[in-house]
C-alpha cells in the first residue's frame, strides 16, 4: 500500500490552536491536493477531518468539510486511511487529562463510520505514545505537563479512546482494518551509568502498543503504571480486549527517533544509528502483526537530493524487513506537501516552511516527489505477486456495495458473533478437553 498523508495536527500551545491543515493551505487547496495523489499514482491517503471543528459537542457533529472531501476521495477512487485524532482535542473537551473524552470520541468514530460506510481503513488516534509524551511529559502541547502521573493519565486515556473507537467502528464495519501509526523509538546509553535510564525508556516506548494490543507489560512497567495513577481495573480493561487481529502495526521512523541517553536520564537526538530495519524488527518480534511503514520524511537540503537519498534508504529498509520474512504491507512518505513550524515541534508560531513534502506549498513537485513516483511505478506491479504474506483484504471504496465486498463483510460479522449453537459447542468442547487425560490433551 503506497501512501502519503495530509498533515492534520491540531495541538494547542499556550492556549493557541495550531492547525496544520490551515497553515499548509489544505482548506484552500484540498481539491488540488487530492488530485495530486492521483497524479502521483498514490492509491492510499492518510487523511481525516479536523477534529476540533467536526466534534462540536457531545454527539454534536459538523460534517460539512468531511462531506465534500470524502465525496471527492470516493469519486477519485482514492482509499483513505482515516486519521480521526491527531495530537489535539476540541477546546470544549480540554486536554488528554480529561477522563470523559474517550467515550465521547468513540461515539464520534461510530458516527463517522455510519456516515461513510465505504471507509474501511482507520488510524483512530495518531501516534499515541508521542501524543502523551509531548503533551504530558515534555510539557510542549495541550496540558503542557511534565510528570509521570500526567504522562500515564494521558496515555491511558489516549489508548482507551483508540480501543473504544475501534470497537464502535467495528460495530458499523465488521471488516474494518486499523493501522496504528506509532512512533518507533530507541534509546542508546551514552555510557555505563546511562544503561539503567536507557533501559527504562526502551521499556516505556512499548506502553501504548502493549495496552492497545492487550499485551501484559513487564513487572517494572506494571509498577510504574500502578505508581502513577493507573488502577488495576483500568489495566485489566486493556488486557481484556480482543482487537489485535483487526490491526496492522504501523511504524513511523524519522531521523529523530533514536536518542542518546545520559546518566541523569536526559536525552538528545542521536540521528540514525540502528535504522528502520533493526528497530522495526524489535517491534515485530514483540507483537507479531503485519507491518506498514506509516511515516517518514527529511528536509530537502541544499543539494536537493537529501530527501531523495533518505527516501531510497527507507525504501531499502522496508524491502529488507520484508525479505527477512515479515509481512510488510505498505510504505508512506509523510506528507503530501511541505509542513509549517515542525522544526520547533509546532511550539513556535514562526510561519517557517519545512521542505518535507512531495510537493511544496505552491503544489509544485519536489525531487523526492519525482523519486517516490518512480518507486511506485517500478515496484507497484511487482510486489503484490511476490508478497510473503496473504493479501490484505482491502476493499476499494467503489467496490463497497459489490458482491465480493458484501460476502467478506458478512463472513467477518459471522466470525465475530458466533451463534448460540456455536457458543454451546465451544463450551462443551472446552469442558470435554478439560476433563480428558494429560496424554489425550
Max Cα-Cα span within the chain:
73
Q: Which cell is 118 given?
A: 465505504
Residues 97 and 100: their CA atoms lie apart, in Å, by 9
pTM value > 0.75: yes
CB 186 within 8 A of CB 253: no
Closest CA to 170 of 217, 119, 227: 119
Tell me, yes or no, whether 277 and 168 share the same domain: yes
124 belongs to a structural domain: yes
Cell 515534555 found at? 138
Give the phi and the psi of residue 329 in degrees, each rounded to 5: -115, -5
CATH number for 264: 3.20.20.80
Whether residue 102 sits in one domain with residue 208 = yes
Are the CB atoms for 333 and 297 separated by under 8 Å? Answer: yes
Residue with cell 521499556: 203
Rg of the chain over all Cα atoms, to the nearest angstrom? 22
Looking at the structure, tell me whether residues 14 and 158 fall in a common domain: yes
Strands 247-252 and 177-183: parallel
What letter would DSSP give residue 217?
A: P
Q: What is the pLDDT along the chain (441 residues), one digit of tens a residue?
A: 999 999 999 999 999 999 999 999 999 999 999 999 999 999 999 999 999 999 999 999 999 999 999 999 999 999 999 999 999 999 999 999 999 999 999 999 999 999 999 999 999 999 999 999 999 999 999 999 999 999 999 999 999 999 999 999 999 999 999 999 999 999 999 999 999 999 999 999 999 999 999 999 999 999 999 999 999 999 999 999 999 999 999 999 999 999 999 999 999 999 999 999 999 999 999 999 999 999 999 999 999 899 999 999 999 999 999 999 999 999 999 999 999 999 999 999 999 999 999 999 999 999 999 999 999 999 998 887 555 445 678 898 988 887 656 666 666 555 555 445 444 444 543 444 343 333 332
Q: Is residue 394 part of a domain?
A: no
Residues 412 and 366 in one domain: no
For residues 353 and 339, what is the distance between their CA atoms, to the nearest angstrom? 6
Q: How many whole angstroms from its chain centre is CA 193?
A: 34
C-beta of residue 359 within 8 angstroms of C-beta of residue 369: yes
Residues 181 and 87 in one domain: yes
Residue 337's φ and ψ, nearest 5 degrees, are -115, 170
Cα–Cα distance, 68 to 73 (Å, whole number) = 9
Residue 354: in which H helix or E strand, if any?
strand 353-354
Residue 17 lies in a domain: yes
> 210 is in which domain, residue-wise?
2-389
Residue 371 shares a structural domain with residue 435: no
How many domains is the chain built from? 2
Q: Are residues 341 and 410 in the same domain?
A: no
CB neighbour list of residue 406: distance below 8 Å, 6 or more residues apart: none
Amino acid at each position: 500500500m503506497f501512501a502519503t498523508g495530509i498533515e492534520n495536527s491540531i495541538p494547542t500551545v499556550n492556549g493557541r490552536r495550531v492547525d496544520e491543515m490551515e497553515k499548509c493551505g489544505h482548506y484552500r487547496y484540498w481539491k488540488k491536493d487530492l488530485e495530486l495523489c492521483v497524479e502521483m499514482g498514490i492509491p492510499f491517503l492518510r487523511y481525516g477531518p479536523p477534529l476540533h471543528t467536526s466534534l462540536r459537542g457531545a454527539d454534536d457533529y459538523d460534517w460539512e468539510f468531511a462531506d465534500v472531501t470524502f465525496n471527492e476521495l470516493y469519486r477519485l477512487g482514492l482509499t483513505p486511511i482515516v486519521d480521526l485524532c491527531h495530537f489535539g482535542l476540541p477546546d470544549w473537551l480540554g486536554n488528554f487529562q480529561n477522563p470523559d473524552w474517550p467515550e465521547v470520541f468513540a461515539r464520534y468514530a461510530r458516527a463517522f463510520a455510519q456516515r461513510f460506510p465505504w471507509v474501511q481503513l482507520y488510524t483512530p488516534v495518531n501516534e499515541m505514545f508521542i501524543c502523551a509524551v509531548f503533551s504530558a511529559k515534555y510539557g510542549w502541547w495541550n496540558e503542557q505537563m511534565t510528570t509521570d502521573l500526567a504522562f500515564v493519565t494521558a496515555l491511558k486515556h489516549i489508548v482507551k479512546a483508540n480501543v473504544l473507537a475501534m470497537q464502535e467502528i467495528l460495530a458499523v464495519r465488521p471488516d474494518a482494518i486499523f493501522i496504528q501509526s506509532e512512533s518507533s523509538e530507541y534509546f542508546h546509553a551514552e555510557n555505563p551509568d546511562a544503561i539503567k535510564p536507557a533501559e527504562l525508556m526502551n521499556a516505556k516506548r512499548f506502553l501504548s502498543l502493549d495496552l492497545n494490543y492487550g499485551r501484559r507489560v513487564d513487572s517494572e512497567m506494571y509498577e510504574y503504571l500502578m505508581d502513577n495513577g493507573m488502577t488495576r481495573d483500568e489495566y485489566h480493561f486493556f488486557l481484556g480486549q480482543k482487537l489485535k487481529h483487526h490491526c496492522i502495526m504501523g511504524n513511523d521512523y524519522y531521523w529523530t527517533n533514536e536518542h542518546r541517553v545520559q546518566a541523569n536520564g536526559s536525552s538528545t537526538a542521536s540521528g540514525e544509528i540502528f535504522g528502520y530495519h533493526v528497530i522495526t524488527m524489535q517491534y515485530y518480534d514483540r507483537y507479531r502483526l503485519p507491518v506498514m511503514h506509516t511515516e517518514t520524511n527529511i528536509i530537502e537540503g541544499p543539494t536537493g537530493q537529501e530527501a531523495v537519498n533518505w527516501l531510497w534508504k527507507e525504501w531499502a529498509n522496508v524491502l529488507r524487513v520484508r525479505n527477512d520474512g515479515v509481512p510488510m504491507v505498505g510504505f508512506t512518505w509523510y506528507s503530501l506537501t511541505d509542513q509549517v513550524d515542525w522544526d520547533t515541534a509546532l511550539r513556535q508560531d514562526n510561519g517557517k516552511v519545512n521542505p518535507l513534502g512531495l510537493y511544496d506549498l505552491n503544489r509544485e513537485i519536489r525531487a523526492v516527489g519525482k523519486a517516490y513516483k518512480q518507486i511506485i511505478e517500478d515496484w507497484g506491479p511487482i510486489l503484490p505477486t511476490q508478497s510473503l504474506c496473504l493479501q490484505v483484504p482491502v476493499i476499494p471504496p467503489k467496490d463497497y456495495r459489490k458482491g465480493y465486498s458484501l460476502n467478506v463483510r458478512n463472513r467477518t460479522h459471522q466470525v465475530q458473533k458466533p451463534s448460540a449453537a456455536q457458543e454451546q459447542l465451544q463450551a462443551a468442547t472446552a469442558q470435554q478437553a478439560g476433563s480428558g487425560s494429560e496424554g489425550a490433551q
